[in-house]
Copies of this chain bind each other. A is one copy, B any other.
Amino acid sequence: MNTPASPKAVVLLSGGLDSATALAMASDRGYDCYVLSFDYGQRSLTELNAAKEIAKQLKAVEHRVIRLHLEDFGGSALTDHSIDVPEEETDEIPVTYVPARNTVFLSLALGWAEVLEADTIFIGVNAVDYSGYPDCRPEYIAAFETMANLATKRGVSGDPIRIETPLIDLSKEQIIQAGTALGVDYGLTVSCYQADDDGRACGVCDSCRLRTQGFVDAGIKDPTRYQ
For residue A139, CB closer than 8 A to chain B, the reply is yes
The contact of A107 among B97, B104, B112, by CB within 8 Å, is B104
* In contact, A151 and B66 (Cβ under 8 angstroms): no
* In contact, B134 and A140 (Cβ under 8 angstroms): no
Q: Given A67-B69, A74-B115, A143-B143, is A134 in contact with B110 using a C-beta cutoff of 8 Å?
A: no
A-B contact pairs, 13 of them (CB 8 A): A64-B72, A73-B111, A99-B111, A99-B115, A100-B148, A103-B111, A104-B111, A134-B150, A134-B153, A139-B150, A140-B150, A144-B147, A147-B147
Copies in the complex: 2
* In contact, A134 and B147 (Cβ under 8 angstroms): no
Q: Given A104-B111, A111-B104, A112-B73, is A147 in contact with B152 using a C-beta cutoff of 8 Å?
A: no
For residue A135, CB closer than 8 A to chain B, the reply is yes
* In contact, A140 and B151 (Cβ under 8 angstroms): yes
Q: Can you name the residue of chain B whose Cβ is closest to the Cβ of A137?
A: B150
- Cα distance, A102 to B147, chains bound together (Å): 11
CB neighbours (8 Å) of A148 from chain B are 100, 103
For residue A93, CB closer than 8 A to chain B, the reply is yes
Within 8 A of B (CB), among A31-54: none
* In contact, A103 and B147 (Cβ under 8 angstroms): yes
Ranked nearest first, the 6 interchain pairs of A and B with the lowest CB-CB distance are: A100-B111, A75-B115, A99-B111, A143-B147, A99-B114, A140-B150
The contact of A153 among B93, B146, B147, by CB within 8 Å, is B93
* In contact, B114 and A75 (Cβ under 8 angstroms): yes
Within 8 A of B (CB), among A124-162: 134-135, 137, 139-140, 143-144, 146-148, 150-153, 155-156
For residue A108, CB closer than 8 A to chain B, the reply is yes
Q: Given A110-B100, A111-B99, is A147 in contact with B140 using a C-beta cutoff of 8 Å?
A: yes
How close is A56's CB to chain B, nearest CB, in angstroms?
A: 19
For residue A182, CB closer than 8 A to chain B, the reply is no
User: Which of the listed residues A70, A100, A137 has the most CB atoms from chain B within 10 Å of its own CB?
Assistant: A100
Q: Can you name the residue of chain B whose Cβ is closest to the Cβ of A80?
A: B115
